Amino acid sequence: MHRIRTALPRPVRAVAVLSVSACLLAGCGGSPRSEDDSAKKPPAGAAAQPRIVLNATDGQKGVSVRSGGRIEVEHGSIAKASLVTADGATVPGKASRDNRTWSPDAALDHGTTYRLTAVATGGKGAKATERVTFTTLDEDDRFVGTYVPEHGSKVGVGMPVSFTFDKAITDKKAVESGISVSSSSGQKVVGHWFGAQRLDFRPQEYWEAGSTVTVRIRLDGVKGAEDAYGEQDKTVRFTVGRSQVSTVDAARHRMRVVRDGRTIRDIPITAGAASSPTWNGRMVISEKLVSTRMDGATVGFAGEYDIPDVPHAMRLSTSGTFIHGNYWGDDSVFGRSNISHGCVGLNDVQGGGDASQDGAWFYANSLLGDVVVVRNSQDATIAPDNGLNGWNMPWKEWVAGSAR
């Protein structure tokens, strides 16, 4: 969400920062304007009346802490800007270089009442004044979306953009419309809701290797549910690395690692035993751990194993599927039999200190977002929302899950 300025700056569109009801009842600025008003010009030779645009109306509650104290002036400049709390404490702020906007130095406090005064002057002594008292959004009345991947990261071609919201969203269209995802590759990107708190974005096919993905989050003031308003307003960018897709054939006990269309390694593996088979399907590496404890009690196998130092573990599902190093299995099982409780095991040593081992090599050569495909296992295909595994959903069904 960006704005292009003409010779005279346009007012901030307050509909993005106020509740819908407040906008409808009170207007979205200290000096509201209609489309007809914006088209009017002063008579030739007359000075334009300065116009003050605010992001709060007098008496309004639930105002954004990010933009509620902002002032913008058309056809003039700011002569005075004052923002104080109800008890008279001054909120520091500064004007822009052209003196047409003024903003607090930091976000306002939640659930706090403020008095805002703005005076603007224009040509030939023209003057305008606005005074409003407003109360910012209470901290309990906001929703926040955590997301992956992180800004500035480099990921594999399978990494979706995944948001998890801390409150159930009822107006999915409003929230989804507040997030845009685009790729330098030009691939079409579509969102899909998994329930009321998770929204993932992906293209029809894997991201193009070497592309840059931009995520624009414009949720400030968006009403996601009753007493749940967004505050986030940021842009996130990440890059897609080389293409690496590794295919596990559970029946052959092998994994073929293909990078940029060329096989670079064929690794002997052990997959899930007949009593605890590995999921089939396309799975995305969502977490990398040099060493981690794996306790069967956490995934329904209480008493069957508890290994405190599993080396080179990479998560493939929320339910506990990993591809990881295995030092406790005999060398003879790799490439010959399936003995695990559902994970894909690669030969390794305790402590993971031997870089020549398959487990260490695969860990060092994998990115978050790389794809691991499992075939010929005796289990079903993994659910699309079990991990970052929406690639297992047909595109038509994926698109149908968008709220736009």
Q: Do 282 and 180 share a structural domain?
A: no
* CA 29 – CA 71 distance, rounded (Å): 10
Pair (164, 195) in one structural domain: yes
Q: Which of 339, 401, 404, 49 is nearest to 198 (CA)?
A: 401
Query: Domain containing 160 — which CATH number?
Result: 2.60.40.3710
Query: Is residue 184 packed enough to be buried (19+ CB in 10 Å), middle (13-18) or exposed (0-12)?
Result: middle
pLDDT given for residue 237 in this prediction = 98
Tell me which H or E stretch contains 146: strand 145-148
pLDDT at 305: 83
Question: What are the pLDDT digits (tens) for 82-104?
Answer: 999 999 999 999 999 999 999 99
Work out the percent of the chain whose per-residue pLDDT is above 70.
Answer: 88
Q: Which residues pair with 136 in a beta bridge?
A: 63
Structure confidence at residue 297 (pLDDT) = 86
Active site residue 343: yes
Q: Are residues 257 and 318 in the same domain?
A: yes
Dihedral sign for Cα 351, 353, 358, 363, please: positive
Convert the pLDDT of each residue in 323-363 to its tens digit: 999 999 999 999 999 999 999 999 999 999 999 999 999 99
Q: Are residues 368 and 287 in the same domain?
A: yes
Domain match, 109 and 203 both: no
* pLDDT tens digits for range 264-289: 999 999 999 999 999 999 999 999 99
Catalytic residue among 75, 253, 324, 341: 324
CA angle in degrees (0–180, nearest 5) for 345-375-257: 60
**274 shares a domain with 256:** yes
Helix (H, G, I), strand (E, B) or coil at 379: coil
Question: Could you give the 3-state DSSP secondary structure of residue 331?
Answer: helix
Q: In the chain, what are the helix, strand and coil shares in percent, each to the nearest 5?
A: 10, 40, 50
Going by C-beta distance under 8 Å and a sequence separation of 6 or more, which residues neighbour residue 361?
A: 265, 355
358 and 301 in a common domain: yes
Specify the pLDDT at position 42. 59
Residue 98 located in a structural domain:
yes
280's CB contacts (< 8 A; 6+ apart) are 374, 375, 376, 377, 379, 380, 381, 382
Do 275 and 363 lie in a common domain? Answer: yes
In which domain, by residue range, is 275 found? 244-392
Please identify, among 212, 241, 270, the residue that sits at the C-terminal boundary of a domain: 241
**The total number of structural domains that make up the chain:** 3
What's the CATH code of the domain at 359?
A: 2.40.440.10
C-alpha dist (Å) from residue 65 to 230, 266, 315: 11, 55, 37
Q: Is residue 400 part of a domain?
A: no
The Cα-based distances of 306 to 299, 309, 378 in angstroms read 11, 9, 24
If you count them, how many residues does the chain have?
A: 404
Asked if the model's pLDDT at residue 79 lies above 60, the reply is yes
pLDDT digits (tens, 9 = 90+) for 202-227: 999 999 999 999 999 999 999 999 99
One domain, residues 96 and 146: no
* Active-site choice (23, 75, 192, 343): 343
Full-model pTM: 0.84
Q: How far is CA 348 from CA 245, 291, 352, 361, in A?
A: 21, 12, 6, 9
